[in-house]
């Protein structure tokens, strides 16, 4: 074990969908710890991804396109000769009524949230499987993979598939490559208001969690860094839940109507 197992100096990290939101925060966390970071997205960020006086390399890429994925991998290898960590972060989907949503919409959601991580993992496999030290693939999953996801049927199904893929690849590609997923819960991001409304709505949703609040992307980034480090060397094929303890059981809300009635000390 190195003196500082969180030191990523000399390691190359790819983070997909890293121009905003959680992906950007993850990329910044790796930069802060010395990694050479390559980020990709369909559109160039408004501002470079920087931290600690260092800047991530940006590559324009739609992760649903295998040729564009290959270009990101080639850029990383050309710069440093290796790929140590892949964070499959790109994903998401707008809400849509399952009864009426088009098949094309579902195809796009599944392509982004399931097929793209698989294709990206395949693209880094030849590098990780042959280099000294192997590699780590971290898939960003969601609590929607383990609970109902009304108005997000394709998204929830894709994330469930991603967790299944994680377990399978861990067995196929281990021990040289560790594969795991980080199962993300409800977060306060710059787009939180689109889902939860104003501050009162965001606070109300947060009170349904055991933590009493929504998570912060920085808290997820810390877990991703840990999972990529030697501290997590025996974690593979696992889906690590980072969801603030999860949501209140629905039967309690149905019988009490208020979180404060069954959680001492909670704020109304």
- pLDDT tens for 46-85 read 999 999 999 999 999 999 999 999 999 999 999 999 999 9
- On the question of pLDDT at 265 being above 70, the answer is no
pTM for the whole structure: 0.92
- What is the pLDDT confidence band of residue 267, given thresholds at 50, 70 and 90? very low
- What share of the chain in percent tops pLDDT 90? 77
Which among 236, 218, 233 has a CA at the least distance from the CA of 5? 233
- List, in order, residues 6 or more apart from 227 with CB less than 8 Å away: 136, 138, 180, 182, 235, 240
Return the pLDDT at 191.
Answer: 64
Each residue of 120-178: pLDDT tens digit? 999 999 999 999 999 999 999 999 998 989 899 999 999 999 999 999 999 999 999 99
Which pLDDT belongs to residue 264? 46
Query: Phi and psi of 17, rounded to 5°?
Result: 60, 45
From the list 155, 195, 196, 234, the catalytic residue is 155
| Average pLDDT over the chain, rounded to an integer | 92
Q: 155 an active-site residue?
A: yes
Give bridge partners of residue 209 from the DSSP assignment: 247
pLDDT digit string, tens, across residues 17-27: 999 999 999 99
- Alpha carbon dihedral 190, 195, 199, 204, in 10-degree steps, equals -130
Within its chain, how far is the Cα of 251 from the centroid?
30
Q: Is 67 exposed, middle or buried (0-12, 13-18, 19+ CB in 10 A)?
A: exposed
Chain segment 87-102, per-residue pLDDT in tens:
999 999 999 999 999 9
Between residues 265 and 45, the one the model is more confident about? 45
Task: Give me the percent of the chain exceeding a pLDDT of 70.
Answer: 93
In degrees and rounded to multiples of 5, residue 185 shows phi and psi of: -95, -155
């Amino acid at each position: 074990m190195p003196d500082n197992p969180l030191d990523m100096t000399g390691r190359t990290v790819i983070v997909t969908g890293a121009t905003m939101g959680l992906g950007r925060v993850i990329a910044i966390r790796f930069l802060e710890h010395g990694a050479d970071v390559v980020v990709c997205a369909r559109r160039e960020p408004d501002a470079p991804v920087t931290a600690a006086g260092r800047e991530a390399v940006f590559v324009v890429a739609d992760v649903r396109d295998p040729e564009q994925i290959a270009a990101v991998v080639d850029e990383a290898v050309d710069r440093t000769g290796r790929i140590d960590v892949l964070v499959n972060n790109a994903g998401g989907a707008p809400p849509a009524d399952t009864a009426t949503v088009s098949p094309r919409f579902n195809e796009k959601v599944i392509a982004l949230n399931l097929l793209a991580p698989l294709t990206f993992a395949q693209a880094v496999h030849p590098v990780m499987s042959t280099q000294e030290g192997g590699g780590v693939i971290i898939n960003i999953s969601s609590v929607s993979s383990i609970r109902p996801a009304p108005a997000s049927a394709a998204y929830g199904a894709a994330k469930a598939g991603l967790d299944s893929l994680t377990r399978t690849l861990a067995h196929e590609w281990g021990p040289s490559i560790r594969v795991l997923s980080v199962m993300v819960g409800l977060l306060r991001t710059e787009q939180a208001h689109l889902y939860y409304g104003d501050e009162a709505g965001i606070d109300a949703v947060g009170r349904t969690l055991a933590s009493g609040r929504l998570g912060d992307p920085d808290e997820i980034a810390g877990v991703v860094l840990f999972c990529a480090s030697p501290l997590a060397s025996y974690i593979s094929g696992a889906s690590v839940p980072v969801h603030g303890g999860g949501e209140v059981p629905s039967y309690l809300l149905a019988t009490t109507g208020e979180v404060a009635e069954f959680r001492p000390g909670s704020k109304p």
